[in-house]
Structure formats: structure tokens, C-alpha cells
């Protein structure tokens, strides 16, 4: 029987849905704003990478420990704090005047996003009834846990198509800060409803693995720093070498600490289970392709093809459409044939889509890009759900919450590395092709042109140098093709590994951890906790 009536449940669900909606929007809304940020803030390609990755790294590092903090200090309290932080950080993002300030504000935004992804799903079992059958002769009352989770997943998924469209419309009517400021009224409304309707609850308190969090976060930041700054400073420069060395030491320290910690963030034995290790690899590589394409395409559409921000958002829809069509196909196919076929075929389809996409030139127009996006989106979603299902099957039922949060954290790490690695390939190839065309330019103009294609186009417009604009657009398209081919190679290798190594079905064993209804969010915590109001 439900603990609360329909009215209370609906009110709670609205508050939680709003909380995850703003995260879903923020995941995609920034993509169409990147060219505008490059022009208005003078951000280089490397700085645009940091604007994206600062948010993702903070989210990845804190997704696991935030759940533990909410168990200790109360889920409603932590959710309210996360909403407040997300709203304040959104307002700060809208008012910055330099790329460095935006990067810092985006990192704080990622901290809030970790709360908004983790805590709402741990609240669900405390408010909504379980999915066990009702007593004979009695109808179940209220909404079940699975139904509530599906509603929350819809909030996150809605951000995929709505984010680029909303971001493009806002950029067409207001200044670039509006893509962040739109979060604030939604957050305020969510805070009011959370404070009034959601009961306080706690779970079994467990000490967060603070050394593990610190070592993993610093190690990832050092690695991403080295990868992003390599093309900027040179791969043999002291800062880049120091970043690589620091990342190696910190991440090795993290692994060593996890091996001997009493309550580690990551149970290292999981990586010996091919359901987890190969499933996570396939899932990460599918996300690698998605975030790489989302990072580069708005710049191509707006700067090279000349569409406005809203037009760029509309033109991203084939990617999302392919994903929405393929997601249920992958789920059904994995039930009929096992996981191996949809994962391997999906990654192979991604490889084909990326290879087609790499053939795009300055003069290709939008048609080839749309076809490539449709193929890529279909392949990504075909592989993603069965790969996640495989990874989560390695966890026992009582580990469902921790397992889902861990898988989501790894996905976010993959997203951060995708933008860092693929953005650096783009940057290096762009500069290599453009440099011969910069001869004779004043140093400041040459520096701006080398920093980003938007900067080069602005210099060309200001100086009336049409040849520089043509060279910059060709150089950017060349860099995009190189980036997409690297991504295609990674997807192809992952497809082969999935075909050879991914277990097709689970061995007979106790019930495995349930898979979330959709990739972008973690499963709800399985214990109900105790209520305090």
C-alpha cells in the first residue's frame, strides 16, 4: 500500500521531475551556445573544452559520495542544498565576463547537478509503494516505484531534444547568459515544492570514501588538463608533462587505495567480471561518440554552414531522433538474442555513421550531416541500453543503488575524456592546417584565429580577408574529420571486443541489479530509509 495519497505523490513527483529536468536541459542546452561563447567571451577551443568538462568532471566525481551524504544528513535537506547551489551557479554562469570565470561557475554547477541526479532517485522508494502485487481482493493504491522512476527518466530524456531547441531560441532572442538563467525559475519552483511536499528521510549512514573521491577527482582533472592543453602548449611542455605524471601518480594511488579501503568507492574485483568491464567499455565508447559529435557539430553548423543558434538546434534533431527510435529496438533485441548482438551491431553502426560523417566538407551542405547523425544516433542507442544492462548485471540486488551510481559516474568520466581527447584532436588538426594561412597577420589576430574557428572568422570579417575565412572553415572541417575518424576507430575496436568478449546472457545466479529505464539517470536506492516528516 502506498504511504501517501495520490495528491501528495503527484506533488512530490513534480518536484523531483523538475529537479532532473534542469540537469537534462543543461546537458544539451550548452552545445548550441559554444560558438556564441567563443565569439562573445573570446574563448578558444581549449577553453570551450574546459567549459564542458568542468561540469562533467564535478558531476562524475561527486555522483557516488552525494548519495552517502544524503543518507547521513537527510535527503530533503541535501536536495534543497543542491537545488540552491544549482540555481546560484546558473545565475553566476549568466553573469561571467571571462572564460575562466565561466569554467569555475560550470564546475560548481556540476556539483549541484550531482545532487539533482542522485538524490531524487533515492527519495522515490520512500514515497511510492513497491511493485509487489497487492493483497488479494484489494486494489493497489498510489503510484508504484517503477512508474515514478519512469516519470523521472522522462524528465531527463526530455532535455535531449528540448535543450538544443530551447538554447537556440534563447540565443536568438536574448544574450548568451539566458541559456543558464532559464534554470533559475525552475529551480525556485522545485525548491518550494520540495520544502512543502517531500518528507525528510535518511538511510543507513556510511562514511564517504573521502581519500578515494579526492584521488580520483584530482587524477581525472590532471589527465584532462594534460590532454586539453597538449595542442595548446605542446606535448613536451613542462605543464603538460607534469599533468600526465600527476595523473598517473594520483590514479595509481586511487587504485591502490581502493584495493585496501574498507568501504571503497569502486570494488576493483568488478573489472574481472566481463559483464561489467566489457559492458562499461561499450557504454563509454557509445557515449564517447555522442559527446564528441555534440561538441563539434554546433560549431560546424553555425560557423561553417552559417545557420543561427535555433537552426543549429533544429538540425541536431536527427541525432536525437535516431536515438529515440533505436532505444526500444536495442532493449527488445537483447531480450530475444542476448546482449552481444545489439551491442556489437550498435557500435558497428556508430562506426559507419562516423565514417560517413568524416566525409563532410565545407561545401557538402546539411544533407550528408543529417544522414550521418541519424546513423550515429541509431547505433549509439542500440548499443547503450544493453551495454548498461550488462554492466549492472554484475551487481547483487542489494548493490543496485551503488552499482547504478558507479556506472553513471563512469559514463560521465567517459564524456569528459571524450571532449578532452576528441577536442584536442580537432584543435591540433585545425591549427596544423590553418597555420600556413596566418603568415603576415598581426600576432594578436593570428592568436585569435588559431584559438578557434569562430575567432578566425571574426578576424576575417574585421579585416575583410575572405581567404582567411575560407582557410579557417576548411581547417576546421579537416579537424572535425580527423576527430570523427579517431572516434570511428575507437568504436570499431569496441565493437570487435563486444562481439568476442561480452557475455551474451547472465549465468544462473541470484537476481541481478535492475537496469534503469534509460541511460541518463541512476537507479533509485533500494532501501526505504526512515522518515522524519
**Cβ atoms < 10 Å from Cβ of 44:** 20
Nearest Cα to 32, choosing from 216, 152, 196, 168? 168
Residue 401 — very low, low, confident or very high, per pLDDT cuts 50/70/90?
low
Cell numbers standing for residue 144: 508504484
Cβ atoms of 468 and 460 within 8 Å: the answer is yes
Q: How close are the terminal C-alpha atoms of the chain, in Å?
A: 18
pLDDT value at 399 more than 80: no
Residue 134 — very low, low, confident or very high, per pLDDT cuts 50/70/90?
very low
Residues 307-328 as b/e (b if ≥16 CB within 10 A, e otherwise) read bebbbbbbbbbbbbbbbeebbe
**For 108-122, 223-237, 250-264, 312-326, which range has the lowest pLDDT when averaged over its residues?**
223-237
pLDDT at res. 91: 94
Average pLDDT, the chain: 82
Residue 517 — very low, low, confident or very high, per pLDDT cuts 50/70/90?
very low
Q: What percent of the chain has pLDDT over 70?
A: 87
CA 496 to chain centroid, in Å, comes to: 25
**For 138-147, 206-215, 411-420, which range has the lowest pLDDT when averaged over its residues?**
138-147
Reported pTM = 0.79
DSSP string, 412-434: HHHHHHHHHHHHHHHHHHHHHHH
Task: Print the SS3 string covering 252-267.
Answer: HHHHHHHHHCCCCCCC
In this prediction, residues 236-243 reach a mean pLDDT of 89
**Cβ atoms < 10 Å from Cβ of 306:** 10
The Cα 520–Cα 313 span in angstroms is 20
Question: Between vectors from CA 463 to CA 461 and to CA 469, what angle results, nearest 5°?
Answer: 50
The Cα 266–Cα 255 span in angstroms is 9
Amino acid at each position: 500500500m502506498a504511504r501517501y495519497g495520490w495528491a501528495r505523490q503527484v506533488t512530490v513527483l513534480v518536484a523531483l521531475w523538475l529537479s532532473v529536468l534542469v540537469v537534462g536541459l543543461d546537458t544539451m542546452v550548452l552545445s548550441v551556445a559554444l560558438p556564441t561563447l567563443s565569439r562573445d567571451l573570446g574563448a578558444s577551443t581549449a577553453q570551450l573544452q574546459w567549459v564542458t568538462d568542468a561540469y562533467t568532471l564535478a558531476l562524475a566525481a561527486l555522483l557516488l559520495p552525494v548519495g552517502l551524504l544524503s543518507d547521513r544528513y537527510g535527503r530533503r535537506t541535501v536536495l534543497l542544498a543542491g537545488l540552491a547551489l544549482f540555481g546560484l551557479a546558473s545565475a553566476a554562469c549568466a553573469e561571467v565576463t571571462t572564460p575562466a570565470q565561466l569554467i569555475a561557475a560550470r564546475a560548481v554547477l556540476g556539483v549541484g547537478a550531482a545532487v539533482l541526479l542522485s538524490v531524487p532517485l533515492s527519495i522515490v522508494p520512500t514515497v511510492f509503494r513497491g511493485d509487489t502485487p497487492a493483497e488479494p481482493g484489494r486494489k493497489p493504491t498510489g503510484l508504484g516505484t517503477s512508474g515514478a522512476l519512469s516519470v523521472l527518466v522522462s524528465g531527463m530524456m526530455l532535455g535531449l531534444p528540448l535543450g538544443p531547441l530551447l538554447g537556440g531560441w534563447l540565443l536568438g532572442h536574448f544574450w548568451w547568459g539566458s541559456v543558464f538563467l532559464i534554470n533559475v525559475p525552475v529551480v525556485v519552483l522545485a525548491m518550494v515544492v520540495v520544502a512543502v511536499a517531500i518528507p525528510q528521510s535518511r538511510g543507513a549512514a556510511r562514511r564517504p570514501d573521502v581519500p578515494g573521491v579526492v584521488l580520483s577527482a584530482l587524477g581525472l582533472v590532471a589527465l584532462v588538463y594534460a590532454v586539453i592543453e597538449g595542442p595548446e602548449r605542446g606535448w613536451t611542455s613542462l605543464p603538460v608533462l607534469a599533468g600526465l605524471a600527476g595523473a598517473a601518480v594520483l590514479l595509481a594511488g586511487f587504485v591502490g587505495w581502493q584495493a585496501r579501503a574498507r568501504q571503497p568507492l569502486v570494488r576493483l574485483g568488478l573489472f574481472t567480471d566481463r559483464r561489467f568491464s566489457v559492458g562499461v567499455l561499450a557504454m563509454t565508447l557509445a557515449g564517447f561518440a555522442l559527446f564528441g559529435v555534440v561538441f563539434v557539430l554546433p560549431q560546424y553548423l553555425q560557423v561553417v554552414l552559417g545557420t543561427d543558434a535555433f537552426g543549429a538546434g533544429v538540425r541536431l534533431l536527427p541525432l536525437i531522433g535516431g536515438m529515440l527510435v533505436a532505444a526500444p529496438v536495442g532493449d527488445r533485441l537483447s531480450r530475444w538474442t542476448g546482449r552481444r548482438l545489439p551491442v556489437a551491431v550498435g557500435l558497428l553502426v556508430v562506426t559507419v555513421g562516423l565514417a560517413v560523417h568524416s566525409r563532410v566538407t565545407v561545401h557538402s551542405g546539411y544533407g550528408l550531416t543529417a544522414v550521418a547523425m541519424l546513423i550515429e544516433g541509431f547505433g549509439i542507442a542500440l548499443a547503450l541500453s544493453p551495454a548498461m544492462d550488462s554492466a549492472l548485471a554484475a551487481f547483487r540486488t542489494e548493490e543496485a543503488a551503488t552499482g547504478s551510481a558507479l556506472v553513471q559516474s563512469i559514463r560521465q568520466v567517459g564524456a569528459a575524456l571524450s571532449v578532452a581527447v576528441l577536442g584536442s584532436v580537432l584543435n591540433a588538426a585545425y591549427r596544423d592546417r590553418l597555420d600556413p594561412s596566418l603568415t603576415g597577420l598581426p600576432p594578436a589576430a593570428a592568436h585569435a584565429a588559431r584559438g578557434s574557428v569562430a575567432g578566425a572568422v571574426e578576424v576575417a570579417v574585421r579585416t575583410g580577408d575572405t581567404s582567411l575565412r575560407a582557410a579557417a572553415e576548411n581547417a576546421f572541417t579537416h579537424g572535425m574529420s580527423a576527430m570523427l575518424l579517431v572516434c570511428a576507430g575507437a568504436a570499431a575496436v569496441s565493437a570487435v571486443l563486444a562481439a568476442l568478449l561480452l557475455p551474451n546472457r547472465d549465468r544462473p545466479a541470484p537476481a541481478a541489479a535492475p537496469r534503469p529505464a534509460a541511460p541518463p539517470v541512476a537507479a533509485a536506492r533500494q532501501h526505504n530509509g526512515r522518515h522524519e516528516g
